[in-house]
Amino acid sequence: MKFRIEYIATKERPAYLFARQVEPGQFSVSQTSRLGGVPIKPRISCPRALTPSGQPDGTIFTFVLATANDLPKLAVGQVVELVG
- pLDDT tens, position by position, 62-76: 999 999 899 999 999
Q: Are strands 2-9 and 60-65 parallel, antiparallel or unpaired?
A: unpaired
User: Cβ distance 45 to 27 under 8 Å?
Assistant: no
User: Cβ distance 72 to 15 under 8 Å?
Assistant: no
SS3 state of residue 69: helix
Q: In the predicted model, is pLDDT for residue 12 greater than 70?
A: no
User: Cβ distance 61 to 21 under 8 Å?
Assistant: yes
What is the 8-class DSSP label of residue 59? T
Across the chain, the runs of DSSP E, i.e. the strands, are: 2-9, 16-21, 34-35, 38-45, 60-65, 79-83
- pLDDT tens, position by position, 24-64: 899 999 999 999 999 999 988 888 888 889 888 889 999 99
pTM assigned to the model? 0.89
